[in-house]
């Protein structure tokens, strides 16, 4: 019973945050699931939960995606190209160093904006930077499963509505994580036990994501930007706690 309580708590936390913000399933579910599952199994299951809950978020902003498919493609195409580079980089780099570097950046950026209480805004589109951000996001996804960090920060700097931001962040993450799930499946990470756990966790994740989407609809654009920055700051602290304190 204790095992399934931890499993349900991680499913609820990850699903709600993904429904609310469009990212963060892994960061907020791993704290629970690493207490009961080996790291490889926990991460491979969370990828599935992230995709499923993320697809609900994609459906929420499908109109915004259709209105500007070119903008989304500027992130997605370079991101897909970056994934194998990240996988190769992981073979020669220390994953802990990668994660702590990203966590430091998240804490510094999120803390600065929270103290400043005013998000900077870019005055005009920068298509080349969109491509670069997507490419680096793909590399980070292949190297450390943190594909959404840089695109999320970049989107908060744009003069876009909350739905326009999400119409970039969420499809990008879903696609990158879908490729990661395929790699995990080829690598033999999923078993009959995995299927059982997915069947238990999936309904909780779906319901929790719907609750998060309900809350998202009631946020203003500025409230959404503030929420994203706060979650980035908290995500950085979670990464440090998990890697340094919990080993």
User: What is the rounded CA–CA span in Å between residue 65 and residue 55?
Assistant: 13
What angle, 0 to 180 degrees and rounded to 10, lies between the N-to-C axes of helices 25-33 and 221-240?
40
Three-state SS string over 150-168 comes to HHHHHHHCCCCCHHHHHHH
Residues 6+ apart with CB under 8 A from 158: 121, 122, 125, 164, 165
pLDDT (0 to 100) of residue 64: 92
Residues 6+ apart with CB under 8 A from 217: none
- The domain locations on the chain are 2-245
What's the pTM value of the predicted model, to 2 decimals? 0.78
Mean pLDDT of all residues belonging to the chain: 84
- Quick: pLDDT tens for 103-161: 787 788 778 777 766 667 777 778 999 999 999 998 888 776 678 888 888 988 888 89
pLDDT (0 to 100) of residue 24: 75
Mean pLDDT across 188-216: 89
229 sits in the region (left: phi over 0; alpha: psi -120 to 50; else beta) called alpha
- Quick: pLDDT tens for 12-45: 988 898 888 887 777 778 778 877 888 778 777 8
């Amino acid at each position: 019973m204790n095992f399934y309580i931890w499993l349900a708590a991680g499913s609820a936390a990850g699903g709600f945050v993904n429904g609310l913000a469009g990212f963060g399933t892994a960061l907020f579910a791993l704290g629970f699931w690493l207490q009961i599952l080996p790291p490889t199994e926990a991460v491979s299951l969370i990828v599935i939960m992230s995709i499923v809950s993320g697809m609900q978020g994609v459906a929420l902003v499908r109109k915004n995606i259709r209105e500007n498919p070119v903008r989304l493609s500027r992130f997605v195409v370079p991101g897909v190209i970056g994934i194998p580079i990240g996988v190769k980089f992981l073979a020669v780099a220390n994953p802990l160093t990668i994660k702590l570097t990203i966590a430091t950046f998240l804490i510094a950026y999120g803390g600065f904006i929270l103290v400043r209480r005013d998000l900077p805004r870019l005055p005009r589109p920068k298509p080349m930077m969109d491509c670069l951000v997507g490419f680096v996001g793909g590399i980070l996804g292949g190297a450390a499963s943190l594909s959404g960090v840089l695109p999320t920060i970049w989107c908060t700097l744009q003069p876009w509505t909350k739905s326009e931001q999400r119409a970039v962040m969420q499809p990008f993450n879903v696609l990158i994580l879908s490729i990661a799930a395929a790699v995990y499946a080829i690598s033999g990470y999923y078993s009959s036990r995995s299927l059982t756990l997915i069947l238990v966790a999936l309904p909780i994740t779906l319901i929790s994501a719907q609750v998060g989407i309900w809350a998202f609809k009631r946020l203003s654009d500025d409230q959404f930007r503030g929420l994203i920055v706060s979650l980035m700051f908290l995500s950085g602290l979670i990464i440090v706690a998990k890697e340094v304190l919990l080993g």
